[in-house]
Structure 1
Amino acid sequence: MTAKDVASSATPDEECLDCGYEPELKRTLGGFQVFAVSFAFISVAVGIFATYDDLLKSAGPVGIWLWILAAIGQALVALVVAQFAARIALSGSSYQWASRLANPKIGWLFGWLTFWYLAIAVIALDNALASQAFMPLMGMQENEDTARIITVVVLIVQSVLVIASTRLLGMITSSAVGIELGIIVVLVIALAVVMVFTGSGDLSNLASRGVTTDAPNYFAIGGGLMAGMIMGLTTLVGFDSAANLAEEAKDPFKSVPRAIVASVLAAGVLGFVFLIALTVAIKDIPAVSASGSPVAAIIRGQFGVVAERILLAGLVFAMFGAGMVVIAACSRQVFAMARDKRFPAHELMKKVNPKTQTPVPATLLILAVGVVLMLALPGEALIPLIVGSTLLPALIYTGIVILYIAVRKRLEYKPGGFSLGRFEMPVAVAALIWEAFVLFVLVTPGDNTIPVLIVVGLVLAGGVYFAFMFFFHREILDEEPGIDDAVPEVTA
């Protein structure tokens, strides 16, 4: 089977069959639900809530202008990702694209990196939910052990719901996105009205360096201004999660690429408007910068405690929905690799429950990884792991762009499908330059040595299993379902 065949299959289910797979997952996600999957993963309100304090301390309020640069750069990458999603609609996204258009060995590396990125991302997200939103909402004192227990409970509930039904996942995710959009719109309008009528806003904040005014090396490589990029780079990611659920989407060749591009554009615009409103609304920059939750502090200062609690309640639900999306995307990544016999314990991990039509063992694996890391790693070890995971999407997106440039001529356009036409190469080259810059930004800070080593360690750990396949079951890495002969049964 050729790449042309992959691109020109008549229907999504026929493509699964042509690619060597029996359709097992249920197609229940409509257009808005697919968009909600990508937007919920990005979760712009949650991302700003979690990283605004870092921005104020590293770059100051003026650092919000870097969001525009991040949004444009990530939109370029999203356009490239959408080109693949419009032609190969299989669970596993970049793993499948690389395996079928380059070779299975390269595809395996994409899959392994994506698995760990998603597995760590859900831990970071749910831990932030517990410590920065749920505990303040309940009036609970800061306590790392309590936050970890809450995180584990949240992971369990999310996993159960993800297993129960993809339709339920879509409903909860859509609701979470609706609430998040409502939070942003209402807060922006309310802040604007209050500031206009009370004069409590300060436009000069938009050009202020705040507490970083006298910081040395502010403009240096790895300095405060460059560190301000982190908010946009860590928030505007995960838009490709819709592609990971492509086998559960209706009309994925149209809905998935549209969702990928639309989610980045919507998050970029809404996020920047939200940042403008928040920054202008700061009454005391040093006090807000010193707060553990500056967004909540700004809302409390402008509207009072009740409004702060409403904000926290909305963020708890938005974070919960985003966590469900990450678990679902990660479990589909495991499922996709396992059915090709390229993941540990693949005979178990590829199983789909006939009643729920969801990959139960793969979902439980994500839960197990989260619980083990939460209970086993102390705070000083968990933080570098989470920081290290921010490097993984940059590596994955860089690889996707390079792959597209290398194989773009082998992708056949679908009539009426998403396509950049004559702009494909300029966009791809611009996206590659952008990703090179992103990697430079992420690895240059001096305190990122341990996170970089963690990423290297994860790659090397995967290399052990890769070596096992390479030397003992070479046919797994040489043959591709639907393209080559059927992959023989292998025990792992």
Structure 2
Amino acid sequence: MTDHFAKKALKHVADDIQSATDVINKDARQFERSIGLISNFSLGFTYLSPLTAVYSLFALAITLAGPPAIWWILVAAVGQLLVAMVFGETASQYPITGGLYPWARRLWGKKYAWMAAWIYLWALVVSITSIAEYSAGFVISLFHFLATPLNGLITSVLLLLVVMVINMSGTKNLARVARIGFWCEIVSVVALGIYLLIFHREQPFSVVFDSMGVLAKDGSYTTAFFSASLMGLFMFFGFEACGNVAEEVKNPSRQIPVAMILSIVFGAISAVVSVLGYLMASPNLQAIVSGKITDPIPAILRDSLGVTGANIFIVIAIIAMLSCILSLQAALSRLVFAFARDDMLPASHWMSKLSNKGVPDNAMIISCILPLIMCIWVYFSPDNLARITAFAVIGIYISFQMVVLAALRQRIKGWKPAGEWSIGAWGMIVNILALAYGLGAIYLLAQPADAASAIDRWIVLIGLAIVIGSGLLYMFIAKPYGKSNAPENDAIAHAAALRAQKQ
């Protein structure tokens, strides 16, 4: 009986090897394993980008909930750490390029994976668009261009093209720029935060417990506090990028889970130090809370660093944001490539090709064109930038939770992850808590905006419905899931195969 089970398990290994061989035979070129642990961690950290989240949402969060909004950084960090542990066990068993798509496929099935990855794909496209638009503002400020919509569009497009060229130059350059971006994040977030705390502190540390009179419209501070959750929820995704490039990572089964966890831990420390620095260094914090100072960070920097120091910070911030776009674009291109490798998209054969440098150039072109088109749309409708940013966050959280739910389903059926990294007996508890956190986060993100029209109030859910509806429509009409024999729903069998292989 045991011999029969072992033979069956080994057959699954043979099937996986054959599947991989079939993929390689379609295109002789393969990914180059040139990304080490530090570079992989840097990729996830620069995608997570505490600087971008803090700069984009500091004023909004403090206006909504006062200084205690800082606690959302720790709440979201702990919640996403649970998600990262679930992802870590999955990535360790399935170190496959594409991240969420192959994970969902192997944990549940091809149709389920199609929807999870479709939502994630568009969330990534929108995320790249948002960061490019925010980065363009920094560039325009640095060079003292007129802040016109046209200049914003031209700058955003140029940034996207520059990043695409860097990505196409090879995985080693991607890793190098990710490491540079990491140090820029450290300098512009951690070092600056510590400097402000030591040399320019104007407020007591107890201010993080002082709401400064902020109340929601219903008269409740609890409602006001929950309304500021976006600062933390927006910050803590991106760690999954460590798994998106799995076939380019050295010893991925061990290193990817560690890199994902490090991204969140360092991201949380960096963000707390940064926000604390801005809060403590603000001489008129009440004016920020009341909304009288609408863009407080530049004002704080000018007061603390002077004009020259503030410009140096802007240069470092631009490099960090470019690195963030680079990581996002790399993650999106690998997702498109993984989709195309399984014949899930039109022109899949073209998009599944690798260049001589082991880079999915054609998928990279698509990953640049889609955000570029979105930038043009924002040019004609600039008010939509905030709306698409909100959609990006809820889209990513939903796709994350689809993987977490699929993992929980397999655990209930008896799955014990068999990768080289595992949390052992804690797996089920962590999985349940990760799902509970994710559902709570999605609920908060889905709350209606404070707007006059019904469309504006529910724009996030409307956008989500359009993406899900179009994905379902394409899935039922084109049936992309039926064009590949790639393995699916095999978590338990594959885990058994891996264990048999080790014996």
- Check if 1:171 corresponds to 2:180: no
Aligned to 1:490: none
Q: In the superposition, relative to structure 1, how do residues 6 and 48 fare at CA in structure 2: closer, same or farther (>3 Å)? A: farther
The residue type paired with residue 279 of structure 1 is: L
Bigger drift between 164-173 and 403-412 goes to 403-412
* The 10-residue stretch of structure 1 (148-157 or 20-29) with the greater mean CA deviation from structure 2: 20-29
Rate the CA distance shift 1:78–1:272 in 2: closer, same or farther, 3 A: same
Give 1:306 shift: 2.0
Report the secondary structure of 1:140's partner residue.
coil
Q: Could you list the per-position Cα deviations for residues 135-159 of structure 1 after superposition, in whole angstroms to 9, with x for gaps in the alignment?
A: 2222334322211210011001111
Instruction: For residue 291 of structure 1, report the CA deviation from its aligned partner.
Output: 4.2
Amino acid in the other structure paired with 1:463: L
Give the match for residue 465 of structure 2. 456
Match of 2:301 in 1: 299
Of 17, 32, 42, the residue aligned with 2:38 is: 32
Which one of the candidate residues 304, 326, 329 is aligned to 1:327?
329
CA shift in 2, pair 1:189/1:425, >3 Å: same
| Corresponding residue number in structure 1 for 2:431 | 428
Post-superposition offset of 1:253? 0.6
Secondary structure class of the residue paired with 2:93: coil
Q: Tell whether the 8 Å contact from 2:39 to 2:179 is kept in structure 1 after alignment.
A: yes
Deviation track 1:157-178 (CA, whole Å, cap 9, x = no partner) reads 1111111111101100111101
Structure 1 segments unaligned to the other structure (5+ residues): 485-492
Query: Are residues 1:82 and 2:88 paired?
Result: yes
Given the alignment of the two structures, is residue 142 of structure 1 paired with residue 147 of structure 2, yes or no?
yes
**2:398 is the alignment partner of 1:391:** no
- Rounded Cα–Cα distance in structure 2 between residues aligned with 1:177 and 1:218: 42
Q: Superposition pairs for residues 252-267 of structure 1, below 5 Å? A: 252-267=252-267
* Maintained 8 Å contact 1:4/1:412: no
CA distance in 2, matches of 1:114, 1:16: 28
Q: Can you list the C-alpha shifts for 1:223-263, whole angstroms capped at 9, x where unaligned?
A: 43212110010011111011110011111111111101111
Work out the CA distance in 1 between the residues paired with 2:9 and 2:91: 14
The residue identity in structure 2 corresponding to 1:228 is A
Matched, 1:94 2:100: yes
> Quick one: distance in 2 between partners of 1:389 and 1:154?
20
**Per-residue deviation, 1:7:** 9.8
Alpha carbons 1:6, 1:19 under 8 Å: kept:
no
What is residue 442 of structure 1 aligned with on the other side?
A: 445
CA contact (8 A) 1:340 1:481 kept: no
Paired AA for residue 465 in structure 2? V
On the 8 A contact 1:6/1:87 being kept in 2, the answer is: no
* Matched residue SS, 1:379: coil
What is the distance in 1 between the residues matched to 2:275 and 2:364? Answer: 35
C-alpha displacement at 1:101, in angstroms?
2.9
Does residue 1:359 correspond to 2:360, yes or no? yes
Match of 1:342 in 2: 344
Q: Matched residue pairs, number?
A: 468
Residue 131 (structure 2) aligns with: 125
SS at match of 2:23: coil
- Distance (whole Å) between structure 1 residues aligned to residue 365 and residue 298 of structure 2: 34
In structure 2, relative to structure 1, the CA distance for the partners of 1:307 and 1:78 (3 Å cut) is: same
Q: What is the CA-CA distance between 1:66 and the residue it aligns to?
A: 2.1
Q: Tell me if structure 1 keeps the 8 A contact 2:203–2:283.
A: yes
**Structure 1 residue 80: deviation in Å?**
0.8
**2:237 matched to 1:237?**
yes
Query: Matches of 1:449 and 1:60 in 2, distance apart?
Result: 25
Per-residue displacement from partner, 1:315-352 (whole Å, max 9, x unpaired)?
10000001011011101100001011111221211111
Structure 2 Cα separation of the partners of residues 203 and 136 of structure 1: 32
Aligned to 2:482: 475
Cα deviation for residue 217 of structure 1 reads: 2.7
* Residue 375 in structure 1 maps to residue 376 in structure 2: yes
Contact 1:148 1:374 in 2 (8 A): yes
Counterpart for residue 487 of structure 1: none
Partner of 2:315: 313
**Number of the residue aligned with 1:189:** 194
- Report SS of the residue matched to 2:458: helix
Q: Give the percent of matched residue pairs that are identical in Structure 1 and Structure 2.
A: 22
1:127/1:147 contact within 8 Å kept: yes
1:406 corresponding residue in structure 2: 409
Aligned to 1:489: none
Is the CA contact 1:86–1:253 (under 8 Å) kept in the aligned structure 2?
Answer: yes
| Whole-angstrom distance in 1 between the partners of 2:234 and 2:266 | 16
The one-letter code matched in structure 2 to 1:95 is Y
8 Å CA contact retained: 2:123, 2:395: yes
Separation in 1, partners of 2:149, 2:406: 42
User: Cα 1:401–1:215, aligned 2, differ >3 Å: closer, same or farther?
Assistant: closer
Q: Taking structure 1 as reference, are residues 142 and 259 closer, same or farther at Cα in structure 2, changes over 3 Å only?
A: same
Query: Following the alignment from structure 1 to structure 2, what is the Cα–Cα distance between the partners of residues 6 and 404?
Result: 23
Between the aligned partners of 1:2 and 1:375, the Cα distance in structure 2 is: 56
- How many Å separate the matches in 2 of 1:267 and 1:16? 40
CA distance in 1, matches of 2:426, 2:12: 20
Q: Distance in 2 between matches of 1:5 and 1:309?
A: 60
Q: Provide Cα deviations, 1:181-240, integer angstroms capped at 9, x if missing partner.
A: 122332133112213xxx633435323334x6355236378x432121100100111110
**Relative to structure 1, is the Cα distance of residues 422 and 201 closer, same or farther in structure 2, using a 3 angstrom cutoff?**
same
1:4-19 alignment to 2 at 5 Å? 18=20
State the TM-score, normalized to the length of structure 2. Answer: 0.87
Aligned to 1:465: 474
CA distance change for structure 1 residues 36 and 399 in 2, over 3 Å: closer, same or farther?
A: same
Instruction: Decide whether aligned partners of structure 1 residues 231 and 30 sit closer, same or farther in structure 2, where only a CA change above 3 A counts.
Output: same
Deviations 1:275-309 (Å, cap 9, x if unpaired)?
22221111112544444542232222223222211
Cα displacement (A) at 1:475: 3.5
Structure 1 distance, partners of 2:59, 2:8, is 47
1:180 to partner: Cα distance: 1.1
Q: Pick closer, same or farther for the CA change 1:205–1:337 going to 2, 3 Å.
A: same
1: CA distance between counterparts of 2:85 and 2:77?
12
- Indicate how the Cα distance of structure 1 residues 114 and 312 shifts in structure 2: closer, same or farther if over 3 A, else same: same
